[in-house]
Structure 1
């Protein structure tokens, strides 16, 4: 478990944890105040003492053929408010770059309308 930065919503630490699901290891980046547990109906819900909801799974961009949202990308997002992610078309056809930002509902979102300037890709 490591601290990646400050939560964009409450200012607490965002931590990285590994866990296994369906035979794969995935990282979860979550605010210390965003605690979840299984309730009596086996639903994974926020606990009564949770005061934040910021959580991002490292496989958040799988549908765009990005295998993992890295700790470095998460650190940059927390520090600068956004990060650049490399995504891939279907069947590996080409790559493209987009900005990812924190999102209250989904944890992280892609800014589809924003173009990433070429000079920013080399930094």
Structure 2
């Protein structure tokens, strides 16, 4: 499924269901970010990859957000920023933070920004 345009190379960002570390997740990646298995059975970017944009849907799991949905990723690609609901370590406190595209990590949370 095509979600939008890659913010770095203009290629299509695709959604693909994969199993990572025994958990089923969505991988949102640029069509030009191709991976292959190396000699250790790890996935690495291939020599023909021209882009490295990718985001796993469970990237915000440490803040008790189970998944970044396809709809949220689509909106992030269109607008460049979305607001996500995160929770404290034990799930008690709830807070809203902006999420932006990041060239190094795919996405970043703006922790210093206060939303009303």
**Cα RMSD (Å) of the superposition?**
1.2
**Paired position in structure 1 for 2:101:** 102
**Paired position in structure 2 for 1:48:** 47
Aligned residue pairs, count:
116
**Paired position in structure 2 for 1:27:** 26
Greater fraction helix: 1
Give the CA deviation at 1:23: 3.7
**Paired position in structure 2 for 1:81:** 80
User: TM-score, with normalisation over the residues of structure 2?
Assistant: 0.94
With 41-50 and 90-99 compared, the bigger mean Cα shift is at 41-50
1:77-110 CA distance string (max 9 Å, x none): 1000111111001111121111111111111110
Give the CA deviation at 1:41: 3.2
Task: Decide whether aligned partners of structure 1 residues 43 and 21 sit closer, same or farther in structure 2, where only a CA change above 3 A counts.
Answer: closer
Give the secondary-structure state (helix, strand or coil) at the position aligned to 2:90: helix
**Partner Cα separation in structure 2 for residue 90 and residue 9 of structure 1:** 33
User: TM-score, with normalisation over the residues of structure 1?
Assistant: 0.89
